[in-house]
Structure 1
Amino acid sequence: MRMRPTLTWTPPEDLPPGTTDPSPVADALSAGGVLVLSGAGISTESGIPDYRGDGGSLSRHTPMTYQEFTADALARRRYWARSHLGWRTFGRARPNAGHRAVAAFERQGLLSGVITQNVDGLHQAAGSRDAVELHGSLDRVVCLTCGTFSARRELAARLEAANAGFAPVAAALNPDGDADLTDEQVGDFRVVPCTVCGGVLKPDVVFFGETVPPERVEHCRALVSDARTLLVLGSSLTVMSGLRFVRQAAQEHKPVLIVNRDPTRGDRHAVTRVALPLGPTLTDVAGRLGITLDDGDAGPR
């Protein structure tokens, strides 16, 4: 039986309401020791859609599972055609004010760490040095046969050469980096193998139906234990990969603060949820702390 990801969550009526006062976030940051846990919502202002917000991709798109990708060559063709097209846009995305604020908080010594559920690399592009990529990163590729890692830009060049003239118009871009294409648009797209062993290539990201490496989870658990406060930015916490850290923080009697416009699965564990857009909110918080954000180009990715 093909596994499908758990993608939906309906907020119960008894969740605490959100607030529009970001003061608790500023207070927590001023005390230091804050661990950031970010989700897709922090990247929407960079042009990357989220899964569950207004117009989220799950209303039209179900991410491919690990089981599909590994078992079905046609599924891999569809994935790489869509992902190759999506990468042309995804790879050009730039950090927004939210990413720059997190990097600025880190430079000021206010953070104990950053965990991101995103695969877009925008925290690093903004200047965050030690962000843990819980679900991996689209800018790396791994061979499922020999384990060799390579740069996504190298694979992109090989796919361009193997599929000259491939330029369909996608209906939309998705948070996992692929683009919405019909089977007709995918056509006879050619997938290229590993240059070392000829094996199957996969982006170095955790697919739905795949597990996060245990050592990465344990590292994140240690970060939660070492933190004074957990600050969730732009995540609905619908899937357990992020929610478990919120539950851990609550069990360890550490304050949990959430900045997310919509209710989240972690709200009942939080001191407060600030129901405001991330970029303006974190810019406001930075100003309250006397921190000026760098609006300049963060440099090449």
Structure 2
Amino acid sequence: MTDFDTLCALLAEQPFVVLTGAGISTPSGIPDYRDRDGVRRGRAPMMYQEFLSGPALRQRYWARAMLGWPKVRGARANVAHQALAELQARGRVSGLITQNVDGLHDQAGSTDVVELHGNLHRVRCLDCGQRTPRDDIQVVMETENPYLAGVDARQAPDGDTLLDPRFEARFKLPVCPHCHGERLKPDVVFFGENVATATAERAMALATTAPALLVVGSSLMAYSAFRLCRAVAERGRPVVAVNLGHTRGDDLLALKLQQSCDEVLPALAQRLR
């Protein structure tokens, strides 16, 4: 048997839970954070405490994010996302947990997705708690910061860009359309911020009640994802992975396919029909 045959055999008996990471979205043009050795690429992303520290750091974040948003908004679900949606629709996938914040699983047709780290398509006010569609905030920022029109900035993970710092200090921050507060934050979990308790509990319940967990495109370096794999393995259930390169949970895996997820998942969906 090939590793792919073994994967199919492990997942054929009962519906399984899937945990996805950035690797499933790279074929859609969204950069990931880490290389195949699990080492972070480029500079460190903004930490949660930095974002809270004052307007200057929020100017830095939103100036770069304003330029990065069109790439995220324009991304399209790829064949790997579509394969998981098909498997879920046919009852083969009993739960889908993602570390990604791009909304591509929803776009592909998956339902009841547990978004461990939130979703960039929403913005939350830290003062009043209200949420606003990201597109609405984008219109405001582009209107109030016309000097950034046409500025070239290289795309980075999660809608960030590598923008020359000289463009940041002039940036006019958006305000909340509900309370006019100035502490708007993308509705995602920043580095250094905790996953919401209810979200973490829902993900853990899905993972630990499944007969198997399939990890797709994740290095599992984020503890919020690694702990799910560890909990499944501790219960004697198989954790299998499709990931190019090292993962933090390699010692927990019953099987690992070091292949591209946009090749493996469509083939898996076809085999399990």
Deviation sequence 1:197-252 (CA, Å, 0-9, x none):
22210000000010001111111111012211000000000121100000000111
Q: Shift of the alpha carbon at 1:76?
A: 0.4
Q: Shift of the alpha carbon at 1:55?
A: 11
- In structure 2, do the counterparts of structure 1 residues 83 and 57 end up closer, same or farther at CA, with 3 Å as the change threshold? farther
Cα separation, 1, equivalents of 2:10 and 2:44? 37
* Aligned match for 1:157, one of 125, 131, 139: 139
Q: Determine helix, strand or coil for the equivalent of 2:57.
A: helix
Q: Determine helix, strand or coil for the equivalent of 1:118.
A: coil
Cα separation, 1, equivalents of 2:254 and 2:245? 16
| Aligned CA-pair RMSD | 1.8
Q: Shift of the alpha carbon at 1:289?
A: 2.4
* Aligned match for 1:220, one of 192, 197, 203: 203
Bigger shift: residues 244-253 or 187-196:
187-196
Q: Shift of the alpha carbon at 1:33?
A: 2.0
Gaps of 5+ in 1: 1-18, 291-301
Cα separation, 2, equivalents of 1:237 and 1:280? 21
Cα separation, 1, equivalents of 2:251 and 2:205? 23
Letter aligned with residue 108 of structure 1: R
Letter aligned with residue 32 of structure 1: Q
Q: Determine helix, strand or coil for the equivalent of 1:63.
A: coil
- In structure 2, do the counterparts of structure 1 residues 78 and 55 end up closer, same or farther at CA, with 3 Å as the change threshold? farther
Provide the TM-score with structure 2 as the length reference: 0.95
Q: Does 1:176 align with 2:152?
A: no
* Aligned match for 1:51, one of 22, 33, 46: 33
* Aligned match for 1:229, one of 212, 236, 239: 212
**1:8-87, aligned counterparts within 5 Å?**
21-53=3-35, 58-87=40-69
- In structure 2, do the counterparts of structure 1 residues 151 and 20 end up closer, same or farther at CA, with 3 Å as the change threshold? farther
Percent identical pairs in the alignment equals: 44
Cα separation, 1, equivalents of 2:242 and 2:103? 20
Q: Determine helix, strand or coil for the equivalent of 2:215.
A: strand
Partner of 1:264: 247
Q: Determine helix, strand or coil for the equivalent of 2:146.
A: coil
Cα separation, 2, equivalents of 1:174 and 1:157? 21
- In structure 2, do the counterparts of structure 1 residues 54 and 182 end up closer, same or farther at CA, with 3 Å as the change threshold? farther
Provide the TM-score with structure 1 as the length reference: 0.86
Partner of 1:194: 176
On the 8 A contact 1:78/1:186 being kept in 2, the answer is yes
Bigger shift: residues 153-162 or 47-56:
47-56
Q: Does 1:250 align with 2:233?
A: yes
Cα separation, 2, equivalents of 1:49 and 1:83? 14
Q: Shift of the alpha carbon at 1:56?
A: 8.9
Gaps of 5+ in 2: none
Dislocated runs of 4+, deviation >3 Å: 54-58
On the 8 A contact 1:48/1:93 being kept in 2, the answer is yes
Q: Shift of the alpha carbon at 1:22?
A: 1.8
- In structure 2, do the counterparts of structure 1 residues 118 and 67 end up closer, same or farther at CA, with 3 Å as the change threshold? same
